[in-house]
Structure 1
């Protein structure tokens, strides 16, 4: 079964919605204008309940099916990124320093398309919970929505999400069982020495040399403390220090990111980093303080739900356009918190040739929105039949 005909009829409307959202990006939890737009559309469609203000600006909307049954959750993220857009498109961001560079405007549009169809037809049992989430890029809006009790409050039994994939065949689906996206941690190391004249280093305690030593030694966590057959990334991405050529500064900063899939690997990295920072500080005679912040956990798909989602994806896109062994990625996703709370699956939908995610020239492909909406709608109808 290809794109649902009724949803195909919405294509022009979906493009209009998506481009409005793209032109009005909002950040983190402050997605109030976006949420108001979404809520207005949902009420126009005739959904049964619209619950606003969850995780500050999130929405959960309920559509009642026919007869008793479970509640399936469908999630879309709404927030943008703090960056300037360079596309030059007519619907480009109207807000300097903000841009929908990850396609969350498209994800929201796909779920709105599914909502319109499901509210019209109601060819399913039980209920659908439409989850419009802020703050995926930062702050973990999914975690906040789970902590505020949406799974129990709305009786959600399973939960699913889609994310677009640049440079993958448009409308094709990609997923896999088990870990599909990595856990993400952040480390920040504050180093304090004793500054002075660059000509007299013997009168100083140089934090620059210590910062370089710490940054280099951190790399040995992957090369010497970790089994090479298990995925791990440790990246130093920042070193800040100094202000003049002939001045040894008092302080330095080293920061970066860690990506893992397994809890024991995560524990090992944090432990070794603390040991390295302490040891290097002692070696160079500086003070060093490590702030290791555990962020989103790994996104782990549940086998039964992957099977259900893949079956529906094949109906919509065709057997040849669905992959269930796509390989896990080192990016991170806060949908992981929802998958910790309930069984479910996270899938990618190809968006065709385009700039990469988080690139200033990125734009969501409107042609795939009806495909994603059809997937969401058929997922409900297939898994909660009358």
Structure 2
């Protein structure tokens, strides 16, 4: 019977993995600036015998390893960039770069895939091709690293039958693996609305068209989209995050702006909300005699896990941690640019527990839990071996 990777196979490497993770955490690099991180990754992969391609879609690195004569191929992705946040922690491996920190755990994601890379190169217990994708600029928004790598021919240059990725999950026990087939993380769209009124003296509002009043009515009207236009069993969020207008108490402004964040879990809900926002904004503005401009930015799509690949990943995770220890993950209203990969290839995005007392993601007190490193590395190694079984 073929033996596949276990968590115990990585115990001897735990201190080395922690060391790599702490180095990355102490030397974070923002999106589009991951020069040293990418160099570290590429140098290690080359040292282990991978065929390495640098500068894919920016600072992206792809390590490819072919073993045996198997004709199947697999891709696994880890992200590398940090965030413009000043770290609040005082641990020894705290960020040495003022105003920049790994507040989302990408240092841990990169380390786990490196741990799996070393093991796979050493043991070569598979037959086929594995492509390890170290992606830059996950936090860059619309023009993220996933989009850039795809535009740079990622899947044409490094063909794969399926792609897998992972993100840590604060609130779940360290090392716990969470799965969900179908929609997992939300599409994230941004909307900017500019209301044009007629400015004037605050004492003579009848001679003006007050865009702040229009905007106030609009804020309330937008809240009816989810509650009155959508199926009550669907999940979505429409949040007005900013509202700017006016500069003095005795002046009625000429214009006001609102900025919205829209989160949805199905293409149908996404299209419905977009349509309703346009109709409500135009109707509200017209009812007051104002005009409106709408800038609608379609962001990352829904992270939708393919059924077969999710079932396979669940099976591997249960083999690794024990049957019944892989709970279903709840829907997550946050977004992820891994969704773009899943629009091109079937695959699964996995969540890995980061501790029940972990600070939330994008928080100055956040830190990746080192207790999850060996589990994550073993998961990627075993998944590769199982997917590319000789």
| RMSD (Å) for aligned C-alpha atoms | 1.5
Which residue number corresponds to residue 358 of structure 2? 354
Counterpart of 1:15 (choices 18, 30, 41) is: 18
Which residue number corresponds to residue 382 of structure 1? 386
Residue 112 of structure 1, CA deviation: 0.6
User: Following the alignment from structure 2 to structure 1, what is the Cα–Cα distance between the partners of residues 169 and 319?
Assistant: 20
User: Following the alignment from structure 1 to structure 2, what is the Cα–Cα distance between the partners of residues 197 and 81?
Assistant: 44
Pairing of 1:1-386 with structure 2 (within 5 A): 3-47=6-50, 49-137=51-139, 138=141, 139-323=143-327, 325-352=328-355, 353-386=357-390
Which 10-residue stretch deviates more, 200-209 or 125-134?
Answer: 200-209
Residue 2 of structure 1, CA deviation: 8.0
Q: Match of 1:208, SS?
A: helix
User: Following the alignment from structure 1 to structure 2, what is the Cα–Cα distance between the partners of residues 84 and 198?
Assistant: 42
Q: Match of 2:324, SS?
A: helix
User: Following the alignment from structure 1 to structure 2, what is the Cα–Cα distance between the partners of residues 21 and 194?
Assistant: 53
User: Following the alignment from structure 1 to structure 2, what is the Cα–Cα distance between the partners of residues 241 and 252?
Assistant: 4
Structure 1 consecutive aligned stretches of length 4 or more whose deviation exceeds 3 Å? 1-6
User: Following the alignment from structure 2 to structure 1, what is the Cα–Cα distance between the partners of residues 105 and 324?
Assistant: 25
Normalized against structure 1, the TM-score is what? 0.95
Q: Deviations over 1:149-181 (max 9, x none)?
A: 211211211111111111101111111111111
User: Following the alignment from structure 1 to structure 2, what is the Cα–Cα distance between the partners of residues 220 and 9?
Assistant: 56
1:71–1:155 contact (8 Å) kept in structure 2: yes
Q: Match of 1:322, SS?
A: coil
Give the number of equivalent residue pairs: 384
Unaligned ranges ≥5, structure 1: none
Q: Match of 1:321, SS?
A: coil
Which 10-residue stretch deviates more, 286-295 or 355-364?
Answer: 286-295
User: Following the alignment from structure 1 to structure 2, what is the Cα–Cα distance between the partners of residues 243 and 21?
Assistant: 45
Q: Deviations over 1:77-103 (max 9, x none)?
A: 111122221112222222222221111
User: Following the alignment from structure 2 to structure 1, what is the Cα–Cα distance between the partners of residues 298 and 78?
Assistant: 24
Residue 208 of structure 1, CA deviation: 0.9
Q: Deviations over 1:290-342 (max 9, x none)?
A: 1111111111111111111111111221123212x323221111111111111
Alignment CA distance shift 1:103-1:197 (3 Å): same
Unaligned ranges ≥5, structure 2: none
Normalized against structure 2, the TM-score is what? 0.95
Which 10-residue stretch deviates more, 176-185 or 148-157?
Answer: 148-157
2:187–2:299 contact (8 Å) kept in structure 1: yes
Q: Match of 2:137, SS?
A: coil
Residue 3 of structure 1, CA deviation: 4.0
User: Following the alignment from structure 2 to structure 1, what is the Cα–Cα distance between the partners of residues 387 and 77?
Assistant: 16
Residue 147 of structure 1, CA deviation: 2.5
